[in-house]
Amino acid sequence: MAELSYRDAVAHGIAQEMRRDPQLVMLGEDIAGAGGVFKTTVGLLDQFGPDRVRDTPISEQAILGAAMGAAMTGVPVIAEIMFSDFLAVCFDIVANEMAKSRYMTGGQMSVPVVVRTANGGGSRFGAQHSQSVENWCMMIPGLKVVAPSTPSDVVGLLAASIRDPDPVVFFEHKSLMASKGEVPDGEVIDELGKAKIVREGSDATIVALAYMVPRALEAADRLAEDGIDAEVIDLRTLVPLDTNAILTSVTKTSRAFTVEENPRLCGWGAEIASIVAHEAFWDLDGPVVRITTPHIPLPAAEALEDMAIPSVDRIVTTVKENLD
């Protein structure tokens, strides 16, 4: 068992899979000699060489166009889009090409591409480099969507994503890069579509993703001081979505809260609220409550960004107000 940072876990997970599959290649801006702008690919060029770890021009369309072309011939690819905001630049390839190819060829062709990208706020990068956009991809049929919160999950879910025959968008949260956690020795592989109960409780269910998971856990500890026993679910993947874990927890606690870094309008929590209201309505003792970022461009100013993104204080206050 080794303790790794979140960013080192990314490189560790990629290396594990590149050793396993000699065909696997990686494409992206500054991922080779520079080790990635977030230092998530440090050392991979030395281990696997320039034929497999390839720097690209500053062109998201070129990166994903090349990745899809290679994947169509059977070569699995990890493609890095530096900031998740830049998925908007190449979304046609993601949403109309990669996501539709298996369907449009009647299952004759798969596109084994993992699109890795740095997601979310907290780093003061401003409105064009701080968005949390996992809901953009969640709405596209044919894409799988992953967003780990711990180094161990980074390695295991990255392995599962790379081995999946379909396109996966893998969101790595910028504000988690320095966080540390234990990663098991040997090969680590997880399963897509399985949420984790990271804290058990009986009074309320808090559903969170990525950077909001440690905040939800801290909030749950503070709520416990006031006699509120909150259960925290780390979704880990949005597609496939582990509805069974959510509904089982809500049936037990009778109250549901989502903590989302997305802007409020059409965030992933709205889908969960709809599912819970439809499938577990009679088990609820109150409405599903969403704790979100407002529907605004994310500010760069420190105080304003902190005010916009759900904080531990806001989670605690919201849960207490709605359980009173």
Do 2-183 and 196-323 come out as alike in CATH topology? yes
- Determine the pLDDT at residue 166: 96
Read off the pLDDT of each residue in 8-37 and give the average, rounded to a whole number: 98
Q: Per-domain residue ranges for the chain?
A: 2-183, 196-323
The CA distance from 55 to 95, in Å, is 24
- Determine the pLDDT at residue 63: 98
Task: Tokens for 144, please give them.
Answer: 């799988």
Report residue 83: phi and psi, to 5°. Answer: -120, 140
The CA distance from 160 to 154, in Å, is 10
- Determine the pLDDT at residue 217: 98
- Determine the pLDDT at residue 87: 97
- Determine the pLDDT at residue 21: 98
250 pLDDT above the threshold of 90: yes
The CA distance from 221 to 319, in Å, is 12
The CA distance from 73 to 70, in Å, is 5
- Determine the pLDDT at residue 238: 98
Task: Tokens for 267, please give them.
Answer: 């965030």
Which residue type is seen at 225? E
Asked if 129 is an active-site residue, the reply is yes
Residues in the chain: 324
User: Does the pTM of the predicted model rise above 0.85?
Assistant: yes
What tens digit of pLDDT does each residue of 86-100 get?
A: 999 999 999 999 999
324 pLDDT above the threshold of 90: no
Which residue type is seen at 309? I
What tens digit of pLDDT does each residue of 206-227 get?
A: 999 999 999 999 999 999 999 9
Which of 155, 156, 135, 152 minimizes the C-alpha distance to 239? 135
The CATH number corresponding to 196-323 among 3.10.105.10, 3.40.50.920, 3.40.30.10, 3.40.980.10 equals 3.40.50.920
The CA-atom distances, in angstroms, between 59 and each of 81, 133, 160 are 9, 19, 27
Fold type of domain 2-183: Rossmann fold (3.40.50)
Task: Tokens for 135, please give them.
Answer: 């809901």
Read off the pLDDT of each residue in 129-149 and give the average, rounded to a whole number: 97
**Looking at 12, 129, 278, 295, which residue is catalytic?**
129
List of residues 6+ apart from 233 with CB closer than 8 A: 195, 196, 197, 198, 205, 206, 207, 208, 245, 246, 249
- Determine the pLDDT at residue 1: 82
What tens digit of pLDDT does each residue of 180-215 get?
A: 999 999 999 999 999 999 999 999 999 999 999 999
